[in-house]
Amino acid sequence: MPGGAIRRWRDEVGSTYVLGHVRVALGLLLFWDSWRAARELEQGYFGDVFHWPIIPEALVASRATYANLVLARLLLAALVVAGRGARPALLLSAAAGGYVLLCDRLQFHHNRWALLCYALLLSLSPCDRSISVGSTGAPPGAGVGPLWAARLAQLQVSIVYLASGGSKLLDPDWRSGVVLLERTRLQAASTVAQGIPQGVVEWFSRPDVSSGLAKLAIATELGLAVGLWLPGTRVFALWWGVCFHLTIEASSRVEGFTWLTLAIYALFATPDVRARKFFYDAGRLRGRLAGRAVSWLDWLARFEVKPWAPDDLRRGRSIVIVRRDGTHATGVRALAMIARCVPLLFVLWAPLALLAGVTERGARSSG
């Protein structure tokens, strides 16, 4: 059985369209990280002050070499975004970033290491077959390729969660909430400055609240490590993970880790394109606006968007969605399906799905 699963992973093929979007996101994050390094270099070269190399000091980059390396990383990141020589650029970006960490382990941060790992893994995938500057304009889904490297990137997500959640579970200060309480109090002023109400910050600074949140964070990370892989829990795990990371982003300084993780989340989407149909009533302003909005926001090409003439089934409906299994969704259930498939609206999926379930049960009971 394990051998069969490994062979299925090795031989799996599918649409490479989503890989292109993930590549662009990683390219932007690589550019941002390189730009941060350039700004830090303006303030001073790390080699001129205390640093802690892993490699011999003789192999540490000089100031001039490091400046050229930072410039090269910026150019490589631009190539990744543009999709021109993207796979070699990803590989070289990972190698250059790894070399910098070898020169000074004080620059190590988990988010930077994770970015380099994902860049390396994505360089092994056919991520350059879509979303490229100067491409022939092939329709989404035209590119098909092996997905084993994407699965390794997914596995890396679970490794991050297991390492983070496991280390917190084994740390009594983390389990009790002491670490989270101190972090909340230290960052209280900056959190309020970001727009979080003072009362909310004070509530999170209570010891009992910190203790409960610490246990919830541990359970979340360990649960996500498994739940992302199970078909029955994957969508909810993705939704919970999005809410989890957005909450962390609003309350802590994690550089680009939130956006990196959310970008990699796209790899958990089923590698199909236009497998659902979004029909809208072109005779209604509401229908036309909905069709245009979904066309703009459907970055992962989950829907085939087209107008229709109302018939007995669709009469009185501005939009109708046909799922992959051929069943129809209208009303709140259609809105839940849109939120489930559109990245910017995904955080609304669970409330809408819950509302759809409640209204459907109410309609059955009243009937």
| Boundary of a domain, candidates 268, 285, 309 | 268
Angle subtended at Cα 10 by Cα 7 and Cα 14, rounded to the nearest 5 degrees: 120
Asked if residue 85 and residue 43 are part of one domain, the reply reads yes
Count other C-beta atoms under 10 Å from residue 288's C-beta.
Answer: 15
* Residue 223, domain member (yes or no): yes
pLDDT of 350 above 80 = yes
Region 56-75 average pLDDT = 95
pLDDT of 100 above 50 = yes
Asked if residue 171 and residue 139 are part of one domain, the reply reads no
Band (pLDDT 50/70/90 cuts) for residue 365 is very low
> Residue 139: what pLDDT?
61
Asked if residue 64 and residue 175 are part of one domain, the reply reads no
Band (pLDDT 50/70/90 cuts) for residue 84 is very high
Rounded CA separation 35/219 (Å): 35
Asked if residue 131 and residue 43 are part of one domain, the reply reads yes
Asked if residue 128 and residue 17 are part of one domain, the reply reads yes
Asked if residue 98 and residue 217 are part of one domain, the reply reads no
Asked if residue 286 and residue 182 are part of one domain, the reply reads no
Angle subtended at Cα 202 by Cα 199 and Cα 207, rounded to the nearest 5 degrees: 145
Token couple for 55 = 């490699």
Distance from the first to the final alpha carbon of the chain: 49
Asked if residue 166 and residue 115 are part of one domain, the reply reads no
Q: Regarding predicted confidence, which is higher, 140 or 89?
A: 89
Q: Name the DSSP letter for residue 61.
A: P
Asked if residue 238 and residue 343 are part of one domain, the reply reads no
Per-residue model confidence as pLDDT tens digits over 304-324: 998 886 554 555 678 889 998
Band (pLDDT 50/70/90 cuts) for residue 1 is very low
Rounded CA separation 18/127 (Å): 8
Long-range pairs of 312-319 with CB within 8 A, sequence gap ≥ 24: 314/279, 314/281, 317/281, 318/280, 318/281, 318/284, 318/286, 318/287, 318/290, 319/278, 319/279, 319/280, 319/281, 319/287, 319/290, 319/291
Rounded CA separation 231/268 (Å): 10
Asked if residue 102 and residue 21 are part of one domain, the reply reads yes
Per-residue model confidence as pLDDT tens digits over 198-215: 887 788 788 888 899 999
| Boundary of a domain, candidates 113, 146, 179 | 146
pLDDT of 138 above 60 = no
Per-residue model confidence as pLDDT tens digits over 20-60: 999 999 999 999 999 999 999 999 999 889 989 999 999 99
Burial string for 257-287 (b: 16+ CB within 10 Å, else e) reads bbbbbbbbbbbbbebbbbbbbbbbbeeeeeb
CATH of the domain at 312: 3.40.30
Cite the DSSP H helix spans in the chain: 2-11, 17-43, 63-82, 86-103, 110-123, 148-170, 172-176, 178-186, 188-193, 198-204, 207-227, 234-251, 257-265, 285-297, 331-341, 349-366
CB 79 within 8 A of CB 86: yes
Token couple for 24 = 């662009």
Rounded CA separation 267/194 (Å): 31
> Residue 361: what pLDDT?
54
| Boundary of a domain, candidates 237, 268, 299 | 268
Number of domains in the chain: 3
> Residue 358: what pLDDT?
83
> Residue 140: what pLDDT?
66
Band (pLDDT 50/70/90 cuts) for residue 232 is very high
Q: Regarding predicted confidence, which is higher, 217 or 202?
A: 217
pLDDT of 137 above 60 = no
Q: Which amino acid is at 362?
A: G
> Residue 14: what pLDDT?
83
* 328-329/303-308 β-pairing: unpaired
Per-residue model confidence as pLDDT tens digits over 148-206: 999 999 999 999 999 999 999 999 999 998 988 888 887 777 777 777 788 877 887 88
* Residue 3, domain member (yes or no): no
* Residue 142, domain member (yes or no): yes
> Residue 97: what pLDDT?
95
Q: Regarding predicted confidence, which is higher, 110 or 24?
A: 24
* Residue 131, domain member (yes or no): yes
pLDDT of 264 above 90 = yes
Asked if residue 110 and residue 46 are part of one domain, the reply reads yes
Give the alpha-carbon dihedral of 95, 99, 102, 105, to 10 degrees: -90
Residue 183 is part of which domain span?
160-268
